[in-house]
């Protein structure tokens, strides 16, 4: 391939039939930008929605999806001070949000990588230096690529906003990327973990992953339709302190699971874009419901330091070659145990 070309995924319209592995122009680092050779891109549920319908964004085609990269800086543009060639980096999803409260959203869903902003599923990307942070030293590129959305969402919910303490109880829904990061973070900070799943095998795998020193309890949703009540029973009538809400839809069981003064982090949209919250437990139990739009750049840097200090290893279900993205999206739809990553050739 010529030096002015690279390989990448490009959408020419909505739908999987319009997603193509193609030759693309090689980008150049402009003012304040760095050129990154992409090593790995982890997939999120939103990526499947972006390919299908833009996830509510009006995309301009041709469009490259994907938001979570890990790679190496190979060139820098004029005015770049934060990175140099050879630095290992990961992307920051909510661009422009560097710290503090989120005070403005440009566009319907903000300026997020991989929709509405152009994504990273290509061999190289030219990207503003402020949209990157240094990668963890303790993780390889495949592992590091899982931090920008899944890792930061769990960290921002539990640590940045939730101020998680040892001895508290965290309930995670399912065994996807955010849920497993949440379970791991809870465990290493001395909290108890409850997980819900329709797969007893996945609950068993999670228990083994967390280890014998962690107090873990699983709830099989097929056996316990009223899983909120079961969570209260497992906590001796107290309820859980923190709940990572991945499903959306009817939150009656989530409200039932929380203790008085408990906290729900609204994260997922698996059951659609509407959250139906019963007023009575919300009011009587003095609950906090907080919407989570991943997190700011400073929190991602905090997570990177914590990963290196705690030797936290992301859980990866499977790694696909970059050209096999359709198979990875199929796997994403089936529901992985942890993260799915596509790897670009060296």
pLDDT digits (tens, 9 = 90+) for 8-54: 999 999 999 999 999 999 999 999 999 999 999 999 999 999 999 99
284 by Cβ neighbours in 10 Å (0-12 / 13-18 / 19+) ranks as exposed
For the whole prediction, is pTM greater than 0.85? yes
State residue 163's pLDDT score.
98
State residue 105's pLDDT score.
66
State residue 25's pLDDT score.
96
Q: How far apart are CA 236 and CA 132, in angstroms?
A: 44
173 by Cβ neighbours in 10 Å (0-12 / 13-18 / 19+) ranks as buried
* Cβ density class 237-256: b for 16+ within 10 Å, e for less: eebbbbbbbbbbbebebbbb
Task: List the domains of the chain with CATH numbers.
Answer: 5-146+314-343 (3.90.180.10), 150-291 (3.40.50.720)
State residue 1's pLDDT score.
62
Residue that the structure tokens 């991943």 belong to: 294
Closest CA to 186 of 147, 118, 240: 240
Structure tokens at 143: 């592992």
Q: How far apart are CA 44 and CA 38, in angstroms?
A: 17
φ, ψ (nearest 5 deg) of residue 301: -65, -35
State residue 3's pLDDT score.
82
State residue 110's pLDDT score.
65
Q: Which residues pair with 70 in a beta bridge?
A: 40, 90
State residue 171's pLDDT score.
98
pLDDT, tens digit only, all 346 positions of the chain = 668 999 999 999 999 999 999 999 999 999 999 999 999 999 999 999 999 999 888 899 999 999 999 999 999 999 999 999 999 999 999 998 999 988 776 655 568 999 999 999 999 999 999 999 999 999 999 999 999 999 999 999 999 999 999 999 999 999 999 999 999 999 999 999 999 999 999 999 999 999 999 999 999 999 999 999 999 999 999 999 999 999 889 999 999 999 999 999 999 887 777 889 999 999 999 999 999 999 999 999 999 999 999 999 999 999 999 999 999 999 999 999 999 999 999 8
Q: How far apart are CA 50 and CA 79, in angstroms?
A: 33
Residue that the structure tokens 């391939």 belong to: 1
Q: How far apart are CA 279 and CA 298, in angstroms?
A: 34
CB of 31 within 8 A of CB of 78?
Answer: yes
Q: How far apart are CA 85 and CA 252, in angstroms?
A: 51
> Residue 302's CB: how many other CB atoms inside 10 A?
18
Q: How far apart are CA 135 and CA 145, in angstroms?
A: 9
């Amino acid at each position: 391939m010529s030096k002015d070309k690279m390989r990448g995924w490009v959408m020419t319209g909505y739908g999987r039939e319009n997603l193509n592995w193609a030759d693309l122009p090689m980008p150049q680092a402009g003012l304040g930008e760095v050129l990154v050779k992409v090593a790995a891109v982890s997939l999120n549920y939103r990526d499947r929605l972006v390919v299908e319908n833009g996830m509510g964004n009006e995309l301009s085609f041709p469009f490259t999806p994907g938001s979570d990269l890990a790679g190496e800086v190979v060139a820098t543009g004029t005015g770049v001070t934060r990175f140099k060639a050879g630095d290992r980096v990961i992307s920051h999803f909510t661009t422009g949000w560097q710290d503090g409260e989120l005070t403005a959203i440009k566009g319907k869903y903000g300026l997020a990588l991989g929709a509405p902003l152009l994504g990273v599923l290509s061999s190289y990307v030219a990207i503003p230096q402020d949209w990157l942070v240094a990668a963890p030293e303790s993780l390889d590129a495949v592992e590091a690529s899982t931090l920008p959305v899944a890792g930061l969402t769990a960290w921002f919910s539990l640590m940045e906003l939730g101020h998680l303490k040892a001895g508290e109880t965290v309930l995670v829904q399912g065994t996807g990327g955010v849920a497993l990061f949440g379970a791991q973070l809870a465990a290493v900070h001395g909290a108890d973990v409850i997980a819900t799943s329709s797969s007893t095998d996945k609950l068993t795998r999670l228990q083994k992953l967390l280890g014998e020193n962690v107090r873990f309890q699983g709830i099989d949703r097929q056996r316990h339709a009223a899983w909120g009540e079961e969570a209260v029973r497992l906590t001796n009538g107290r309820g859980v302190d923190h709940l990572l809400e991945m499903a959306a839809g009817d939150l009656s069981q989530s409200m039932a699971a929380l203790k008085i003064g408990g906290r729900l982090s609204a994260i997922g949209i698996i059951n659609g874009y509407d959250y139906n919250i019963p007023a009575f437990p919300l009011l009587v139990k003095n609950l906090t419901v907080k919407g989570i739009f991943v997190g700011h750049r400073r929190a991602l840097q905090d997570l990177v330091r914590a990963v290196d200090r705690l030797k936290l290893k992301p859980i990866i279900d499977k790694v696909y070659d970059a050209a096999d993205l359709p198979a990875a999206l199929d796997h994403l739809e089936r529901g992985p145990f942890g993260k799915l990553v596509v790897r670009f050739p060296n």
